[in-house]
Chains A and B, each alone.
Chain A
Amino acid sequence: MSDSTSTDAAIEVWGLCKRYGAFEAVRGIDISVRRGEVFGLLGPNGAGKTTTVEILEGYRQRSAGDVSVLGEDPASRKRALRQRIGIVLQSGGIYSYVTPREALRHWAAFYPAPRDVEEVLALAGLQDKAAQPSRKLSGGQLRRLDFALALVGDPELIFLDEPTTGFDPAARRSAWETVRRLRDLGKTILLTTHYLDEAQELADRVAIMKDGRVLAIGPPRELGSGASSYRVAYRNHAGELIERQTDDPTRLLNELTAEALARGERLEELSVGRPTLEDLYLELTADG
């Protein structure tokens, strides 16, 4: 599947492939992420999301295809490129005996124009824990430190790999709020997630991946409702929930109601729905 490309793209990917021996983790994907956009990579575990992102971050070499991140090839691992990106890894550790403030000051020195450390601590909600050794921070606080370390260099582009996995609902909302603030600051964000609500809440556009391929790409609301089929549901006389997919709900409703009337039955809980992102996701990522 091909996505439209634009001259102001922060990330462009053409025909990207990654093989580990005989296993193809990524099988020829095309993606374009515009500057200032929050782009979600959505898919089940093993879909190839993290492999794709790690190629874009410069951690892995691609097997085939072309990649451009802020106009550079990340495989070259240029320091100048790494000064313009921030990375929140799926699981990245930090020194046990260093406080968040010390870690941020250390990290800030890597960048030509870092953010003020105290302001980043405030943005991440870590002011109260700034002087605690990181080994005494909770999981949620460590995740906030992940965000802070990725932001202290004032990057143009931020990679967030499964940023809220394992969070409780309050922590997730807080992380979402941080992502929205970053978007408001004009940052480009590439977010991988397997949470549909997260993609729906945060992403301007999403790509749904499965088995190393992009199956659908577009704004989350349009992706669901833009699909051609409708879902008609009702309970039959035995109480079973029946679901039918159709491109022409008028005709199907006419048939169903005519048959029910002829039998003298009611169609309980009759509903006609447009497919949601969740419906599309489940349909596309279903096994087999």
Chain B
Amino acid sequence: MAELRARRGPSAGRGIPLLAWRQYRLERRMFWRNPSAAFFNFLLPLLFLAGGGIILSGNQHELNRLVPAIAAMSVMSTTFTALAYNIVFLRERGVLKRIRGTPLPTISYFGGVLANAVTNTALQIAIVVLAGRLLLGIGWPRDGVELAVFALAGVMCFCGLGVAFAHLIPNFESTAAYVNAVFLPVVFLSFYVFDSKSAPAFLRTIVDALPLKPLIDGLWAAIVTGSGLGGKLDALAVIALWGALGCYYAIRGFSWEQARA
């Protein structure tokens, strides 16, 4: 066997930001190679948008409400859903445990993972807004800053909740059931309350206290009305509270490995 040579030098990156960047690049590469991830992240919202566009064709008022709702749903699916799936998969397959045994700093690992989620969300919102403009005739976003603030708040909130939620899922086989048991009702009820003036008051109270409806409100204001950030601080506060709760439980209960039988 040939004697192995140790390679030393500056190419052996060791800094936390550099390792986070490398993790991010690996996450991006894996994302594009996984057809189902690409489908659920990019094609599905477009299908929703197309379906909604056909049903609501000719009703510009409703179409204006559809685009921010789909954009908010996209934020939730690229963060909450995708992270819950990925974390459970990696945990149950032993990948997280293997990573834990290496010198990769935890902050670099999660920095790369979260940056990947932020990228997916940014791409999604861009696609939804562009499709809304080109296909459904809605205008360009009125308030770019408000859009960025709400999108970022939504990402941080649902990332935290996604990682925290992964703790509750006992094995990979049950991930779809657990995730959909949260994702589908929250999306359905939030869309309903957002769109209907006749929604029961108790339901409106509940949904307003959940993070998706405030995100839809914020994105609607940013994309359609341009009413300014000041008018939506209550929505931002609800998202921030859920985000703080999610991040707390994401860190506190994080498990790098399968629960022992």
Question: Which residues of A line the B interface, CB within 8 A?
Answer: 57-59, 79-80, 82-83, 87, 89, 91-98, 102, 106-116, 119-120, 122-123, 133, 149, 153-154, 181, 185
**Chain B: interface residue count, which band?**
20 to 34
A94 to B97 Cα, complex, angstroms: 10
Residue numbers in B under 8 Å from A110 (CB-CB): 14, 19, 102-104
Q: Nearest CB to that of B95 among chain A residues?
A: A93
With A102-B26, A109-B19, A112-B14 as known contacts, state yes or no: A83 contacts B101, CB within 8 Å.
Answer: no
Residue numbers in A under 8 Å from B104 (CB-CB): 110
A111 to B9 Cα, complex, angstroms: 11
Q: Which 3 A-B pairs have the closest CB atoms?
A: A93-B93, A92-B98, A93-B94
Partner of B103, one of A82, A115, A122: A82
* Complex contact B98–A123 (CB within 8 A): no
Q: Does B12 sit at the interface, judged by CB under 8 A?
A: yes
Summarize A's interface: helix, strand, loop or mixed.
Answer: loop
A39 to B13 Cα, complex, angstroms: 33
With A94-B98, A98-B29, A133-B33 as known contacts, state yes or no: A120 contacts B103, CB within 8 Å.
Answer: no
Beyond contacts A110-B14, A110-B19, A114-B12: 9 other A-B pairs, Cβ-Cβ < 8 A, are A59-B257, A96-B34, A97-B34, A98-B26, A102-B29, A106-B22, A113-B8, A119-B2, A133-B33
Give the distance to chain B from A109, nearest Cβ to Cβ, in Å.
5
Q: Count CB-based A-B contacts (< 8 Å).
A: 96
* Complex contact B12–A123 (CB within 8 A): no
Residue numbers in A under 8 Å from B100 (CB-CB): 59
30 pairs from A and B in contact (CB 8 Å cutoff): A57-B101, A58-B101, A59-B100, A59-B257, A80-B103, A89-B94, A89-B101, A92-B95, A92-B97, A93-B98, A94-B98, A96-B30, A97-B29, A97-B34, A98-B26, A98-B29, A106-B22, A106-B26, A107-B102, A108-B12, A109-B12, A110-B14, A111-B103, A113-B12, A115-B6, A115-B7, A122-B2, A123-B4, A154-B4, A154-B6
A92 to B90 Cα, complex, angstroms: 10
A58 to B101 Cα, complex, angstroms: 8
Give the distance to chain A from B120, nearest Cβ to Cβ, in Å.
15
